[in-house]
């Protein structure tokens, strides 16, 4: 019988997490009830729904759809209760669990406003700045509207302004990248700034699920197009994690997000270089018990491999077949 204690705690630079498993922003973390449940759960940290300056109702329903075989599609439209609600909520709470505030302003100026507000809070452990939301668009050199996370020049000038006004721990939630050179270029920019972590990846944009019986789309907003999450995106998440692990300064931690449904998925994320993982689609479908189940499955894998902590294998993916 295995007697040594398996430690799945982790650190995001100076931020200590009792478990490397946490929720993803957008997954059951919007309301007071949802946040209270997360505070009592076994998750290693808690992250809020991406918030804006004022409350938003978001897009029309149905705006989320789950397919057991592939995963999920959503076009939520940033429904949230506004930054003041989240800051006030945590100001009243006593907890040792790290608190990550996700922010997603609808413009660069709104993000600056949100960061200034977050700067005043003593309860927020770090901000996760959502640079991958389809609502935040900038013009590229050809005047196409794209996410700021896809334009290295705009991203650099934006981060330069961010770190003039925000002094606390800051991480970035990044969109998925599909070419190594793009990740290399983005990492080159990020390495210039005192970033605590990056979260890889947000949902893959412009997907579509079809109801063959009705011969229709399955969500109402944007003619049925939305972000794809869940098990189908795991290979893309792992590729982004691995390449950012190779190109980023080691002081910048990586939080893996995408396609986690079991303990093996967590192991694969960490093996590619993630220091922690976020659970989105599976959390929505399974509820709070997902954290206990995933922790049990993950620890079981580490026991079989004789690993005592995630540091024993983090980033140690072999380059060649054995």
Active site residues: 133
Single out the residue of 8, 58, 9 nearest to residue 31, CA to CA.
58
Burial of 305: CB neighbours in 10 Å, binned 0-12, 13-18, 19+: exposed
Q: Is 26 left (phi over 0), alpha (psi -120 to 50) or beta?
A: left
- Torsion (CA) 17, 42, 233, 82 in degrees, nearest 10: -80
What residues form DSSP beta bridges with 152? none
- Cα separation values, 229 from 38, 46, 242, 272, 279, Å: 21, 20, 19, 19, 10
In the structure encoding, which two tokens stand for residue 253, read together? 């931690």
What residues form DSSP beta bridges with 73? 65, 228
Question: Would you say 262 and 297 are in contact if contact means Cβ atoms under 8 Å apart?
Answer: yes
């Amino acid at each position: 019988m295995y007697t040594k204690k398996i430690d799945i705690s982790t650190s995001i630079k100076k931020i200590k997490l009792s478990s490397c498993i946490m929720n993803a922003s957008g997954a059951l973390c919007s309301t007071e009830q949802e946040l209270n449940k997360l505070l009592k759960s076994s998750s290693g940290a808690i992250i809020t729904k991406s918030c804006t300056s004022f409350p938003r109702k978001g897009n029309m329903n149905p705006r989320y759809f789950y397919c057991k075989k592939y995963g999920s599609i959503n076009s939520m439209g940033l429904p949230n209760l506004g930054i003041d609600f989240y800051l006030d909520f945590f100001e009243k709470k006593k907890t040792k669990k790290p608190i990550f505030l996700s922010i997603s302003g609808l413009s660069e100026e709104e993000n600056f406003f949100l960061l200034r507000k977050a700067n005043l809070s003593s309860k927020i452990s770090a901000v996760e700045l959502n640079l991958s939301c389809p609502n935040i668009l900038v013009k590229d050199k050809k005047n196409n509207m794209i996410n700021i996370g896809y334009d290295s020049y705009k991203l650099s000038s934006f981060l330069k302004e961010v770190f003039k006004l925000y002094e606390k721990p800051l991480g970035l939630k990044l969109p998925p990248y599909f070419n190594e050179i793009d990740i290399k270029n983005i990492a080159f920019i990020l390495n210039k700034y005192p970033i605590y972590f990056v979260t890889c990846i947000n949902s893959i944009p412009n997907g579509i699920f079809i109801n063959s019986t009705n011969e229709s789309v399955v969500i109402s907003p944007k003619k049925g197009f939305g972000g794809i999450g869940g098990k189908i995106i795991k290979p893309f998440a792992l590729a982004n994690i691995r390449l950012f692990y190779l190109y980023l300064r080691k002081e910048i931690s990586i939080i893996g997000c995408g396609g986690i449904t079991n303990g093996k998925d967590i192991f694969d994320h960490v093996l590619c270089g993630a220091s922690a993982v976020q659970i989105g689609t599976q959390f929505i479908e399974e509820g709070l018990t997902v954290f206990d189940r995933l922790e049990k499955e993950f620890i079981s894998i580490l026991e079989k491999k004789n690993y005592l902590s995630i540091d024993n294998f983090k980033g140690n993916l072999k380059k060649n077949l054995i």
